[in-house]
Amino acid sequence: MTNDTARAPATDAPASIESEPAARRLILGGAWTTARIAAAVRALDGAAAGMSGRVRLDGGAIAQMDTAGAWLLLGLEHRLRERGCEVELAGLAEDHAALVRYVGTRTADAAPPPAPTIMPPVARLGLFATGGTIKAISLLSFLGETVITLAKAVLDPRRLRFGAMAAIVQRAGVEALPIVMLLSFLLGVVIAYQGGVQLKSYGANIFVVELVSITMARELAPMMTAIIVAGRTGSAFTAEIGTMKATEEIDALRTIGLPPIDVLVLPRLIGLVIALPLLSLVGDAAGIFGGMIMAWAMLDVSVNDFLHRIPTALSATSFMIGIGKAPVFALLIAIVGCFEGFSVRGGAEAVGRHTTVSVVHSIFLVIVADAVFSIVFSWLGI
């Protein structure tokens, strides 16, 4: 490539393409740089339209060139070749010619992006199993660290933060009373109505007391309360700790010598273990009250008869089984909520994702634990 034009290049002029169809020549001039090639881009199609046969690209008037200009020049050459033209590139300065060769080489070597593929089902299953195993091991490790820290706190009660625990009882327990009472009341109404309709056909209206009291106290009140707390409080645990993780506040706690398990996990764990049984007890009362109202209104069971039959219908064993499940449910919710918070990596999007996972896993574990309790108590005959 040699410079065979006498035209003096203008260093600050926009990039230009002048067409001479009679001479089958395109004269390229100006600054072929990112900031100055807009006019040349607009003239690209028109310049190539009137050319045929052997075409000469004269770049002697190009004053400046960067990779954007070199790429545009190669694009012009490519369009001419697509029209069947034989292209000769001449007149470029040596550094411009070297840049065009370099850009052309890199463009030719660039591999096309791989086509998106659907992951084979076996590979997806393997990734799911691997990720689940790693997460289960991490959860067990977190649980072990929490148990060890709790044991140290029992031996040295000064490590316990009673103010933080009281705040958790307030937030997770007292503030949740309205929603727990309302849902438990409605659940008692539904059970009494659905079961009472069947009992009434046999003239066994009075047995609605057993149906409502045992079902609510032993099974539904503890489980429904735990599900409400998982969605309300477990998600809050994850969001709070996850936000602290994202903003590096947990690293700051370690820096000043405060163990995060002591400061963040134990108060939430102990506070929830205290609050959930109390909420479950309130849920028992609200559910039985709802069943009593429905029995009085629809089944002709008086309030006096209903109340007098409860001690006979609901044994102390069934009542204590229901109350005894609540601390286990609280432990599961608190551990999962705090673990997901500590697992956050990234910003707000990661906090939201882990909060969702926390609620789903907590509810799943609560239902599984309740099923295990039912099987074990059935084997034991209680």
pTM assigned to the model: 0.68
Residue 127 lies in a domain: no
Q: Which CATH number characterizes residue 85's domain? A: 3.30.750.24
Between the alpha carbon of residue 12 and those of residues 36, 205, 227, 321, the distances in Å are 9, 98, 71, 87
Q: Domain boundary at 80, 109, 138, which?
A: 109
Q: Do 358 and 237 sit in the same domain of this protein?
A: yes
The DSSP code sequence of 44-94 is HHHHHHT--SEEEEEEEEEEEE-HHHHHHHHHHHHHHHHTTPEEEEE---H
Q: Do 105 and 186 sit in the same domain of this protein?
A: no
Q: Over the stretch 289-327, which tens digit does the pLDDT of each residue have? A: 999 999 998 888 888 999 999 998 888 999 999 999 999
- For residue 373, the enclosing domain spans 149-380
- CA dist 251 and 33 (Å) reads 48
Residue 143 lies in a domain: no
Q: State the pLDDT at residue 1.
A: 41
Q: Do 221 and 86 sit in the same domain of this protein?
A: no
61, burial (CB in 10 Å: exposed 0-12, middle 13-18, buried 19+):
buried
Residue 136 lies in a domain: no
Q: Do 157 and 300 sit in the same domain of this protein?
A: yes
Residue 167 lies in a domain: yes
Residue 117 lies in a domain: no
Provide the 8-state DSSP code for 34. T
Q: State the pLDDT at residue 4.
A: 44
Residue 128 lies in a domain: no
Q: State the pLDDT at residue 113.
A: 67
- Given a cut of 50, the residues of the chain with pLDDT beneath it are 1-9
Residue 141 lies in a domain: no
- CA dist 298 and 200 (Å) reads 10
Q: State the pLDDT at residue 44.
A: 66
Residue type, 294: M
Q: Domain boundary at 56, 91, 109, which?
A: 109
Tell me how many domains the chain contains: 2
Q: Do 157 and 90 sit in the same domain of this protein?
A: no
Q: Do 153 and 282 sit in the same domain of this protein?
A: yes
Q: Is 58 in contact with 27 (CB distance < 8 Å)?
A: yes
Q: Do 67 and 213 sit in the same domain of this protein?
A: no
Residue 118 lies in a domain: no
Q: State the pLDDT at residue 135.
A: 85
Q: State the pLDDT at residue 183.
A: 95
Q: Do 308 and 196 sit in the same domain of this protein?
A: yes
Q: Do 158 and 253 sit in the same domain of this protein?
A: yes
Q: Do 154 and 40 sit in the same domain of this protein?
A: no
Q: Do 154 and 44 sit in the same domain of this protein?
A: no
Residue 216 has, within 13 A of its CA and on its CB side, a CA count of: 35
Q: Do 288 and 208 sit in the same domain of this protein?
A: yes
- CA dist 341 and 234 (Å) reads 10
